[in-house]
Amino acid sequence: MAHRVMPILVPSVTAVAAVVAFAAWLTAVPRPQLLKRIPGLDKPVGAAVAATSKAALKGTLAAGSGSPADIPGEWPRFRGPRGDAMFQSSDFSLDPPWGEAGPVKRWSVALGEGFASPAIKEGRVYLIDYDREKEEDVVRCLSLADGADIWQFRYPNAIKRNHGMSRTIPTVTDKYVVTIGPKCHVACLDRLTGEPQWLIDMVAEFGATVPPWYAGQCPLVDGERLILAPGGPEALLAALDLADGKVLWRTPNPRDWKMTHSSVVPVEFQSRRLYVYCASGGVVAVDAADGRIVWDTTEWKISLATVPSPLPLPDGRIFFCGGYDSGALMMQLKGGDGRIEPDILFRLSPAQFGSTQQTPIFYEGFIYGVREKDKQMVCLDLEGNQRWSSGSQHRFGLGPYVIINGVLLALDDDGLLSAMAADPNEFRLIGQARVLEGHDCWGPPAFVPGYFLVRSMTELVCLALPPGG
């Protein structure tokens, strides 16, 4: 078995995950009135980046015309409040999911090309965008009521079109919003005002290598710490103090594994917390307390682009899947004598299951996801057996999906939204409606009751969901 195990000396902690992908086309980001300039990011545009020295960073903060909405609820990070791509509440029903005319569009906003999706907290929408004309990353805070910009924080970042620009999802806490830009710049801002707390460049700070289709890793905030996976020579993973950006620990990188498009995920096993990450050469689990490697393995790696994040399951199981004919793998953690060791339970061929971009969902004992080979939605049991598939008449391409109150909502590449029952006994289509007019609608949705946010390559749309909500 091609894995390595190291003893655990300190209990672990939690983390989250994710990702995004490819395409092309463009719309400039609107620029509100400039208010002030803030120090940071003074590296010349297009200049070669040093691999070890810390970069000085700068950006500009500008106010817009929008106001925060008095709308409760949050979808504060990649895959939602619990990191499982689900929202459960007894306060509303999605039966039916919408009326005959489809979901009502509340508002829409033009975006720079990409797949970066929003996070939501207390009537504000946060996302990282790209202004191609100005060659700037743009962290935007919008009103959930009408999509108007409340503020924008910009910093220079010259990048070439490469199947989209931005493709990550912010993480929002009570105090801060944290983003990762296409070239691995990390920004921590005051979530209410947009004032920068700190900014770093993971290439300069940790020697990170920007992934082939730009950064797809979504930031993981665990308490007062930010967990990153730079994949640098001396920092496979790193923990930073959320308040000031100071490095608390670094995980050694003896195999010289690089950053992928996947996100770090927390796994708890035998009362120990681990951070699990799919790096370029395999999977690593580190102790959440100090970043030491607990185990690593080369049994799971993807040759071209690693995008889906690990899917934690009950009883120490972890499900991995990927595209490019990599299929899927079920791992079982085993512990004893202060050690944790990964064991391979089974593999699935690409014909059985694989996913190019999206991380599947575990719901009430079953796994739901779109199979790469035929683009059908499938339901699997935890032994890898197929319970059903959606059939050739219902294909979803590389589109995202979430489960809300037992309803599986999935977008296809061209913006057709399908509502299905998350029921292991049968595939049952509840409704369909075209909600986006663009293409490559691959960014994961965000939801709070009454507001369902979806995007195409160049547009963010807010839908009324449930109807009248």
Give me 383's structure tokens.
């032994």
pLDDT for residue 336? 87
At 91, the amino acid letter reads: D
φ, ψ (nearest 5 deg) of residue 316: 80, 15
State the Cα–Cα distance between residues 62 and 149, nearest whole angstrom. 10
Residue 47 predicted with pLDDT over 80: no
pLDDT for residue 455? 97
SS (H, E, C) the chain: CCEEECCCCCCCCCCCCCCCCCCCCCCCCCCCCEEEEEEEECCCCCCCCCCCCCCCEEEEEEECCCCCCCCCCEECCCCCCCCCCEECCCCCCCCCCCCCCCCEEEEEEECCCECCCCEEECCEEEEEEEECCCCEEEEEEEECCCCCEEEEEEEECCCCCCCCCECCCCEECCCEEEEECCCCEEEEEECCCCCEEEEEEHHHHHCCCCCCCCCCCCCEEECCEEEECCCECCECCEEEECCCCCEEEECCCCCCCCCCCCCCEEEEECCEEEEEEECCCCEEEEECCCCCEEEEECCCCCCCCCCCCCEECHHHEEEEEECCCCEEEEEEEEEECCEEEEEEEEEECCCCCCCCCCCCEEECCEEEEECCCCCEEEEECCCCCEEEECCCCCECCCCCEEEECCEEEEECCCCEEEEEECCCCCCCEEEEEECCCCCCCCCCCEEECCEEEEECCCEEEEEECCCCC
pLDDT for residue 215? 96
pLDDT for residue 49? 33
pLDDT for residue 44? 30
Cα distances from 356 to residues 371, 425, 448, in angstroms, run 8, 26, 27
Instruction: Calculate mean pLDDT across residues 214-243.
Output: 97
The pairing of strands 366-370 and 361-363 is: antiparallel
- In terms of residues, how long is the chain? 469
Q: What is the mean pLDDT of the chain?
A: 89
Query: What are the tens digits of pLDDT across the range 51-103?
Result: 333 445 689 999 999 999 999 999 999 999 999 999 999 999 998 899 888 99
- Yes or no: say if 85 and 229 are a contact pair by the CB < 8 Å rule: no
Q: How confident is the model at residue 1 (pLDDT cuts 50, 70, 90)?
A: very low
Q: How confident is the model at residue 3 (pLDDT cuts 50, 70, 90)?
A: low
- 10-45+57-86+113-373 folds as Lipocalin (2.40.128)
State the Cα–Cα distance between residues 76 and 81, nearest whole angstrom. 6
120 or 159, which is more confident: 120
Query: What are the tens digits of pLDDT across the range 249-300?
Result: 999 999 999 999 999 999 999 999 999 999 999 999 999 999 999 999 999 9
Residue 199 predicted with pLDDT over 80: yes
State the Cα–Cα distance between residues 8 and 450, nearest whole angstrom. 45
Residue 36 predicted with pLDDT over 50: no
Domain ranges of the chain: 10-45+57-86+113-373
Cα distances from 318 to residues 78, 277, 300, 327, 345, in angstroms, run 18, 11, 12, 14, 10
pLDDT for residue 413? 96
pLDDT for residue 99? 87
Residue 310 predicted with pLDDT over 80: yes
Residue 37 predicted with pLDDT over 60: no
Instruction: Calculate mean pLDDT across residues 122-138.
Output: 97
CA dihedral over 221, 458, 64, 66, signed as positive or negative:
negative
- Yes or no: say if 246 and 275 are a contact pair by the CB < 8 Å rule: no
